[in-house]
Structure 1
Amino acid sequence: MWVSTGIRPTTVVLTVENTGERVAPERVPTLTEPFQRGTERVHTDHAGVGLGLAIAGSITRAHGGTLTLTPRPAGGLRVTVELPAAPRP
């Protein structure tokens, strides 16, 4: 997993990337829907229910920002949150 932050003229940016199975580009828009998951997973003790990206999207929109999901070519996902920067005094 990689995490980076950045500052742009009017926004701040948080990017989180992970590795994993390849995500088909047509599947990406569904990942922010509640209870959707990126791949068919075998049930384990900690499988998750598919709410993380839905919650992240709701919080981002509530703060006037954007959430962008991009599949990584080698597998995994890049998630970028861009939020309005606070005005400088």
Structure 2
Amino acid sequence: MGHLTFQAQYLTHLGAKGRIVLPAEVRKVLGLKEGDRLLLRVREDGAIELLSAREVARRAKGMFAHVAPGQSLADELLTERREEAGQEGE
């Protein structure tokens, strides 16, 4: 994934039905494509923060790293779900 400097700024506009177009360079650098989910946060100061679902997951993983150090809780959950699905098919 590429890297934008913190001060990167782009002029965009509010379109029909409140849509905002993200510039192609931003989508490319962040690896975003049509249909990707984004989290929009409005801060108390009126600033808007836009995060990709991938970034939200990365931050959440970091927040809970102390719970099971050296283990991937997501991997464990996926393994459990696969085992449950296999048992249901038997």
Provide the TM-score with structure 2 as the length reference.
0.26
Judging by fraction of residues, say which structure has more helix.
2
Q: Answer 1 or 2: higher relative contact order, Cα 8 Å, separation at least 6.
A: 1
Larger Rg: 2
Alignment TM-score, normalising by the size of structure 1: 0.27
Bigger share in strand: 1
